[in-house]
Amino acid sequence: MSHGLLLSFEITILVLAIFLGFEVISKVPTLLHTPLMSGTNAIHGIVIVGAMLVAGADHKDTLTTIIGLVAVVLASANVVGGFVVTDRMLEMFKKRERKEPDS
Amino acid sequence: MSRETTNLLYLITIVTFVLALRFLSNPATARRGNQIGAVGMLIAIVVTFLQDSVMSYWEIGVGMAIGGTFGAVAARKVRMTAMPQMVALFNGVGGGAAALIALAEFHNIAPDPGTLQKDISASLVLSAIIGSISFAGSMVAFAKLQELIGGRPIVYPLQQATNGVLFAAVVAAGVAIVAGTERQWLMWALVCGSLLFGVLFVLPIGGADMPVVISLLNAFTGLAAAATGFELENNVLIVSGMLVGASGTLLTILMGRAMNRSIANVLFGAFGQLAPSAAGAAGAVGTTDGQVRSASAEDVAVMLAYAHKVVFVPGYGMAVAQAQHDVRALADLLEARGVDVSYAIHPVAGRMPGHMNVLLAEANVPYPQLKEMEEANGEFGRTDVALVIGANDVVNPDARNNQGSPIYGMPILNVDQSQQVVVLKRSMNPGFAGIENPLFLNPKTVMLFGDAKQSIEKLAASVKAV
């Protein structure tokens, strides 16, 4: 596939993703806005894929690899932290009461 | 594995992310959605490892272990009241990763200037700029929320001119790179300039505007990830990044609307500056209108115990005092006496979108009791006592009545429509924005001074004794 053609496809899915995003997110109630933020936070941790590709490629110089690896560290913190924090939050949202733990 | 196969496998990840967001529309399914998203992320990581171009497994594995451990420990240890800064932190590292990827890619290519396609170099520049701003801005937001630096707006002369010139310089560097000046130092300068801009841009924004800032920075990191997708020609990055970008943008707009302020006004208005003159004017009116009446915990407890319907209105003060568990305990006591208890939540109460909901959920408040602004406002007319716990601007009737007030036009919770209002407050110091609140002078209102947690504890003890 030529570069120009690929670019046109990329722009197409980008624009479709914008509409999909607005559509899906407008259905999230304000009750869950914090988990939404933190959940989308986890999702943009997908840059870890980019970080792996850059860090893992066979490079001419080591600086590129080092910067790439730092990116891997940051992105992994983003991914793991994002999903764990969101899970902790969502675990707390309950419809009915349960036994009061400590307070 | 061929690129075609990889791309198709990445599609699974994309679908799981969309499902994760879809499941967030209902609290009952939200947790499962998040877990599906996590599985999708895992698939993407495994697929990436299997790509032919990815070599240094060991190094990447160690990097992941370091970052992942830090993320997991921080996410497990953090208290629910510290959640806004945790969200800011994870957002920042994501943006930082996007900026570093751009730097590394550029460093790899730069020895052969002229080999870059224009759209690739444009994506590199965009993800470097947006990612750096998001990283630096999030770190400042983190520092403000963690109270490492003051939450009040930091302002100095020619602030906006300085920021404007700096941003113009960053854009100029970006344009030069895309135009063909593919110099290493120019990219480093661009990243440093963007980092500095990110710091200067968030510094003047006050604590109460944090919900807008955090949503915006979230959108930025999403956009940076999408730009990274263009530079690496990777579909999962483009779609996921843009989903986050759309989400963050929508939240930012919603938060702005909940404050009746344009996003530009929040970002460049430095709210604190407006306050003194307005506070003076409102104060002058206030003194003629009435006076503050303070009550004892025993008086308020009797009021609550014999009410039919009580609405709690939590604000940032509840988060600061970490009083959510005590609030819940008080609500339990009242419910045991047959009082109808609910919670009215303003969209911008606290320091991030939905902040109060998370805190109350932590205290095991069943979510059907948490009422959004519109629903709550329909109920104040039938409410005997509205108990305002550390909220201020979001219940200020000036937003409705006083055209001279800086918050005029902001939708508020109409607590003054209930029979009686009790305001829990540390002292008569005006709130963050320095705006007088005529609600405190309303004849229906009594004040209960003190730390929110202690006041609620006292109330609970007194309700038991009634």
Contact A90 B34 (CB under 8 A): yes
Other CB atoms closer than 10 Å to residue B381's CB: what's the count? Answer: 10
pLDDT in tens, B68-81: 999 999 999 998 88
* Band of pLDDT at residue A1, cut at 50, 70 and 90: low
Mean pLDDT, residues A14-42 taken together: 94
The alpha carbon of B388 is separated from its chain's Cα centroid by a whole number of angstroms, namely: 22
C-beta of residue B426 within 8 angstroms of C-beta of residue B392: no
Under an 8 A CB cutoff, do A88 and B75 touch? Answer: yes
CB count within 10 Å of CB B279 equals 18
Tokens of A35: 């988990």
Whether B27 is covered by a domain: the verdict is no
Is A101 part of any domain?
no
Q: Within a domain: residue A19?
A: no
SS3 B196: helix
| Per-residue confidence (pLDDT) for residue A54, from 0 to 100 | 93
What pLDDT score was predicted for residue B267? 77
Measured between CA atoms, the residue of chain B closest to residue A60 is B108
The answer to whether position B193 is within a domain reads: yes
Res. B388: pLDDT tops 90: yes
- pLDDT of B271 above 60: no
B446 pLDDT tier (thresholds 50, 70, 90): very high
Test A69 with B41 for CB contact under 8 angstroms. no
Determine the pLDDT at residue B281: 41
CA distance A69 to chain B (A): 6
* Overall pTM surpassing 0.90 (yes/no): no
Are residues B284 and B152 both part of a single domain? no
pLDDT digits (tens, 9 = 90+) for B176-190: 999 888 888 999 999
When pLDDT is cut at 50, 70 and 90, the band that residue A74 belongs to is very high
What pLDDT is attached to residue B143? 93
pLDDT digits (tens, 9 = 90+) for B122-169: 999 999 999 999 999 999 999 998 888 876 777 778 888 889 999 999
Residues B298 and B244 in one domain: no
Of B30, B104, B248, the CB nearest to A35: B30
- What's the pLDDT score for residue B151? 67
Q: Do A40 and B358 lie within an 8 Å CB cutoff?
A: no
Cβ contacts of residue B338 below 8 Å, gap of 6+?
Answer: none
Residue A37: C-alpha distances to residues A42, B33, B221, B251 (Å): 9, 14, 12, 8
Catalytic-residue membership of B326: no
DSSP letter string, A62-92: HHHHHHHHHHHHHHHHHHHHHHHHHHHHHHH
pLDDT at A103 over 50: no
Of B268, B290, B313, the residue that ends a domain is B268
Residue A13 predicted with pLDDT over 90: yes
Q: Is the pLDDT of residue B421 over 90?
A: yes
Name the pLDDT band for B384 (thresholds 50, 70, 90).
very high
Which one-letter amino acid corresponds to residue B188? W
**Residue A71 pLDDT > 80, yes or no?**
yes
pLDDT of residue B182: 80
Q: Can you give the pLDDT at residue B274?
A: 42
Distance in angstroms between the alpha carbons of the first and the last residue of chain A = 62
- C-beta of residue A44 within 8 angstroms of C-beta of residue B63: no
Over residues B383-396, the mean pLDDT reads 92
Whether B21 is covered by a domain: the verdict is: no
- Whose CA is closest to B139, among B96, B79, B105? B96
Closest CA to B29 of A27, A58, A65, A82: A27
Contact with chain B for residue A27, Cβ under 8 A:
yes
Mark whether B414 and B284 lie in a shared domain: yes
Q: CB B76 to CB A35 under 8 A?
A: no
Region B194-207: mean pLDDT is: 90
How far does A81 lie from chain B, in Å, by closest CA?
4
Whether residues B356 and B326 fall in one domain: yes
Mean pLDDT (whole number) for B20-25? 95
- Report pLDDT digits (tens) over B449-465: 989 999 999 999 999 98
Instruction: Look at residue B288 and tell me whether its pLDDT is greater than 50.
Output: no
Mean pLDDT of B381-388: 94
d(CA B291, CA B298): 21
Parent domain of A67: 33-92
Question: Residue A1 domain-assigned?
Answer: no
Distance CA A82, CA B221 (A): 13
Contacts of B24 in chain A (CB under 8 A): 28, 32, 35-36, 39
Of B18, B70, B235, the CB nearest to A24: B18
Q: Assess A12–B contact: CB distance below 8 Å, yes or no.
A: no
Among all residues of chain A, which has the CA nearest to that of B329?
A103
Interface test with A, best of B35, B123, B138, B247 (most A CBs within 10 A): B247
Which region among A33-42, B6-15, B289-298, B349-358 has the lowest average model confidence (pLDDT)? Answer: B289-298
pLDDT at B226: 97
**Which of B43, B56, B62, B318 best tests the A interface by mutation, with the highest count of A CBs <10 A?**
B56
Q: Across chain B, how many H-helices and E-strands are there?
A: 18, 6
Whether B434 has a pLDDT exceeding 90, the answer reads no
Q: In this structure, are B165 and B186 located in the same domain?
A: yes
**Average pLDDT in the B365-381 region?**
92
Do residue B282 and residue B256 come from a single domain? no
Chain A, nearest residue to B89 by Cα? A78
Determine if residue B371 is left, alpha or beta; phi over 0 gives left, psi from -120 to 50 gives alpha, anything else beta.
Answer: beta
Residue B196 belongs to a domain: yes
Q: Is there a single domain that holds both residue B281 and residue B263?
A: no
Residues B181 and B242 placed together within one structural domain of the fold: yes
Count of other CB atoms within 10 angstroms of residue A30: 20
3-state secondary structure of B114: coil
Residue B150 lies in a domain: yes
In this predicted structure, what is the pLDDT of residue B264?
A: 81
Residue A69: inside a domain, yes or no? yes
Query: Does A60 map to a domain?
Result: yes
Q: Does A50 touch chain B (CB under 8 A)?
A: yes
Interface contact A10-B250, CB threshold 8 A: no
The pLDDT score that the predictor gives to residue B428 is: 73
The residue with greater pLDDT, B8 or B292, is B8
The answer to whether position A20 is within a domain reads no
Q: What total number of domains does chain B contain?
A: 2
A57-66, B111-120, B284-293, B304-313 — which is least confidently predicted? B284-293
Q: Are residues B431 and B342 in the same domain?
A: yes
- Do B256 and B341 share a domain, yes or no? no
Q: Is-contact B138 B168, C-beta < 8 A?
A: no
Q: Is A2 within 8 Å of chain B by CB?
A: no
Q: Give domain status of residue A61, yes or no.
A: yes
Q: How far is CA B246 from CA B131, B201, B226, B239, in A?
A: 16, 21, 11, 10
Same domain, B233 and B309: no
Q: Which residue has the higher pLDDT, B278 or B184?
A: B184
ipTM for the whole complex: 0.92
Domain extent, residue B438, equals: 277-465
Residues B256, B295, single domain; the answer is no
Q: Tally the residues of chain A.
A: 103
Contact B357 A6 (CB under 8 A): no
Domain count, chain A: 1
Closest CA to A89 of B78, B68, B23, B248: B78
Q: Cβ contacts (< 8 Å) between B45 and chain A: which residues? A: 48-49, 52
Rounded mean pLDDT of chain B? 88
Contact list in A for residue B111 (CB cut-off 8 A) is 60
Q: Which of B226, B245, B268 is the last residue of a domain?
A: B268
Q: Which of B268, B296, B317 is the last residue of a domain?
A: B268
Between B431 and A6, residue with greater pLDDT? A6
Give the Cα separation of B462 and B305 in Å (integer): 9
* Calpha distance A86→B72 (Å, rounded): 12
Q: What is the pLDDT of residue B273?
A: 44
In a domain, B59, yes or no: no
Q: Which is catalytic among the residues B209, B326, B393, B416?
A: B393
Contact status, residue B406 vs residue B437, Cβ threshold 8 Å: no
Question: Does residue B311 contact residue B376 with C-beta atoms inside 8 Å?
Answer: yes
Of A35, A47, A48, the CB nearest to B24: A35
Distance CA B248, CA B225 (A): 13
Contact A84 B71 (CB under 8 A): yes
The answer to whether residue A21 is domain-embedded is no
Q: DSSP class of residue B393?
A: G
